[in-house]
Structures are given as C-alpha cells and as structure tokens.
C-alpha cells in the first residue's frame, strides 16, 4: 500500500489515540506506552499507520470488546505514516502493526524480519467521483482527463497508474492523464469548481463528495483490482515465536469482528459513528454501504491467501514501492488466521 490517505484534515482526527476496551474509554494515548498487564488481561499495543475507515475490522473488535473476551487489553497508537509502524515494532514500542502489507516486505529485506498473520483489508475502497453526466466505463475513459488526487505516493495516484499500465495497456502520461495533486480534503472541491474532470478518493472522502458536493461515484477501483492483501497485521518473527498464544487470541478477535460485519448490516455504520464522531452521519451511512457492498474490501475472514499475496506483490512492485518481492511461504503464517476463522469467524 503506497499511501492510503488519512481522513480529510477537516475531520480533526487525532494522530495518536488509545482505546482501552475494558472501560470503553476513548482518549489520547501516550506516545508509545509500554505493554504490561491491566485488569488481568494481557496488554498489547497496535501501531496503525493512520486512522482510516479501511481498518474498521480492528475497531469493531475493540468497540465490541472482542479482544477483551479473548483476555487482551488492546491499545491503539496511530503512527502517522505508512512505513512508521515498522520502526515502532522494531523498537519494541508495539507488538502488532497494521499498515500496508508491502511494509512488512521492505522491513524484512532490510533485516527486520516480519510475519504477516492476518488480512484486514482485502480490497481497496478507492473510487472515482465526478459531476453527474460524466461516464467512466473503463480505464480507457480516463485518457485525457485531469484527475484530482492526493500527493504522490498516495494510492490515489499509484493504484490507477498501476492499473492503467498493467490492465489498460497504456501509460497515463502518454495518454494525456493529468494528476492534479492536492492536500487532503481538496479533491471534491476541485471537481466542483471545474479544475478537475474527476477525483480519485478513499472513503470517507468519496462519500463527502457525493453528499456535500453533489458528485457521483462513477468508478470503483476495487472491482478491477480484485482480491488483494491490501492492509495486513504483522509482527516481528521473534515476537511470533515467543507469543503464539497472544497472536492467536488477537486473530480470534479479528475473525469474530469480520463475522459480525458480514452478519449484521448495521455493524459497520454503528461502530464508525463511534469511531469517527466528527464525520457527518450521512457520510458515514453512505460510506458504510460502500465498504460493505464493494467486493473484497471487508474480508470475510483474516486469512491471507496466496492469491491475496501475489496480487499485493504485483501491485506494490508495479507501483515502485518495493525493492524486491518476497514469496508467500517466507512472509505469511496462516496458522493463526485459519484456526481463528474456524473457531470464531467465517471459514470462507
């Protein structure tokens, strides 16, 4: 994952937070509190890249006390960048990282060996939004268009570029595609005032464009990208070897959260209203629908398949964010996710 963006800056999302599930309290976390034992449960810290709706399965497991049920006291720390969770883990300031899967490969290549244990996002909630009347039926329809995006290396640029080259068979620059790189939250306004033909945005920003700027979703990149281990949970190899029981409990809770999301049509919206209280209710409602109806984005279980792995390796190498790809057998341990899916979640 090259850089799924944080929520628009107007949402005032804090950059570092703590959710202590035993009390349900929500507040600012200390920078990197050390793990310990709290209220009889095992304390673990999760370093998430950014606070984004794509990570909702984790938030569900926290808000619905699924981690607590497993005997874990989970604290969440928002790192503020896609690569930052790697350094946090290597410094022993967190035990679990949640970020773009490719970051585990880069770390391993540099000597900080990681193992991916669970998939959290199995697709990409990336949409093209435009004024009513503009039709985008294929990648070829993007030729000659000015597209409002975030600044490179955001996935709002790298993913469509990768797909245009690998699937569409054309180079965006040669085809007259102009990426208008803007700060977070400015993409929909650029379409509205005519500076861009369309914008490529993640939710919640795509739904903000629809509900507050009168735009329409005209294309979904998840539909063409297919199943992919877009965002994953990974741990260091030494931690995995010494803390298998804790890893299993953590993965059990994720599997149960994914099961709830796919069995309760209100779960995504309900948790999102709690997790992102400054996002307008109509935005959350539409965004929740987008997430749950866009194929593969919310996984049915946390198992990273070989298809998922091969897809993310191809994507990241094509986007230029990996020096080298590494094989599924070396980087993924499916033991915990497979058992969790069988005991607490959905097998398929």
Inform me whether the pLDDT recorded for 10 exceeds 90. Answer: no
CA distance between the termini of the chain: 24
- pLDDT bucket at 4, cuts 50 / 70 / 90: very low
Instruction: Give the per-residue pLDDT at 28.
Output: 32
Give the Å distances, CA to CA, from 26 to 18, 29, 46, 98, 334. 6, 9, 15, 19, 32
Please state which of the ranges 97-106, 117-126, 154-163, 168-177 shows the lowest mean pLDDT. 154-163
How many other C-beta atoms are found inside a 10 Å radius of the C-beta of residue 314? 14
Find the mean pLDDT for residues 92-106: 96
CATH top-level class of 126-225: alpha beta
Find the mean pLDDT for residues 302-320: 94
Give the Å distances, CA to CA, from 35 to 32, 43, 80, 99, 112. 9, 5, 20, 20, 20
Task: Print burial letters for 26-43: b (CB count within 10 Å at least 16), e (below 16).
Answer: beebeebeebeeeeebbb
Instruction: Tell which phi-psi region holds residue 42, choosing left (phi > 0), alpha (psi between -120 and 50) or beta.
Output: beta
The C-alpha atoms of residue 153 and residue 172 are separated, in whole angstroms, by: 15
Instruction: Give the per-residue pLDDT at 1.
Output: 45
Please state the φ and ψ torsions of residue 256, each to the nearest 5 degrees. Answer: -65, -40
pTM of the model: 0.85
The domain segmentation of the chain, as residue ranges, is 42-123+228-344, 126-225
Instruction: Give the per-residue pLDDT at 318.
Output: 85
- The pLDDT tens digits of the residues spanning 112-132 come to 999 999 999 999 989 999 999
- The pLDDT tens digits of the residues spanning 21-76 come to 333 333 333 333 444 445 589 999 999 999 999 999 999 999 999 999 999 999 99
CATH top-level class of 42-123+228-344: alpha beta
- The pLDDT tens digits of the residues spanning 175-231 come to 999 999 999 889 999 999 999 999 999 999 999 999 999 999 999 998 888 899 999
Instruction: Give the per-residue pLDDT at 158.
Output: 87
């Amino acid at each position: 994952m090259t850089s799924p963006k944080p929520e628009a800056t107007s949402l005032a999302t804090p950059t570092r937070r703590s959710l202590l599930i035993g009390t349900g309290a929500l507040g600012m976390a200390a920078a990197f509190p050390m793990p310990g034992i709290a209220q009889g449960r095992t304390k673990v810290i999760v370093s998430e890249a950014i606070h984004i709706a794509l990570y909702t399965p984790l938030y569900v497991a926290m808000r619905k006390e699924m981690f607590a049920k497993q005997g874990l006291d989970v604290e969440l720390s928002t790192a503020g960048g896609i690569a930052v969770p790697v350094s946090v883990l290597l410094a022993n300031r967190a035990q679990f990282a949640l970020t773009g899967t490719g970051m585990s490969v880069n770390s391993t290549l540099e000597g900080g060996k990681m193992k991916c244990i669970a998939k959290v996002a199995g697709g990409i909630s990336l949409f093209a939004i435009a004024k009513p009347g503009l039709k985008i039926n294929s990648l070829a329809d993007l030729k000659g268009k000015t597209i409002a995006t975030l600044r490179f290396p955001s996935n709002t640029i790298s993913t469509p570029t990768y797909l245009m080259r690998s699937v569409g068979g054309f180079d965006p620059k040669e085809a007259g595609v102009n990426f208008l790189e803007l700060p977070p939250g400015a993409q929909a306004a650029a379409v509205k005032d005519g500076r861009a033909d369309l914008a490529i945005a993640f939710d919640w920003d795509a739904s903000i464009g629809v509900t507050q700027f009168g735009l329409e979703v005209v294309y979904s990149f998840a539909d063409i990208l297919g199943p992919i281990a877009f965002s994953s949970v990974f741990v260091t190899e030494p931690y995995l070897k010494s803390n298998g029981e804790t890893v299993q409990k953590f993965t059990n809770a994720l599997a149960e959260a994914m099961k709830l999301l796919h069995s309760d049509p209100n779960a995504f919206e309900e948790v999102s209203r709690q997790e992102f209280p400054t996002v307008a209710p109509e935005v959350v409602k539409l965004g929740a629908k987008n997430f749950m109806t866009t194929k593969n984005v919310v996984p049915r279980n946390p198992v990273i398949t070989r298809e998922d792995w091969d897809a993310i390796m191809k994507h990241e190498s094509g986007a230029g964010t990996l020096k080298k790809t590494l094989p599924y057998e070396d980087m993924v341990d499916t033991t915990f996710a497979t058992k969790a899916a069988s005991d607490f979640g959905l097998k398929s």
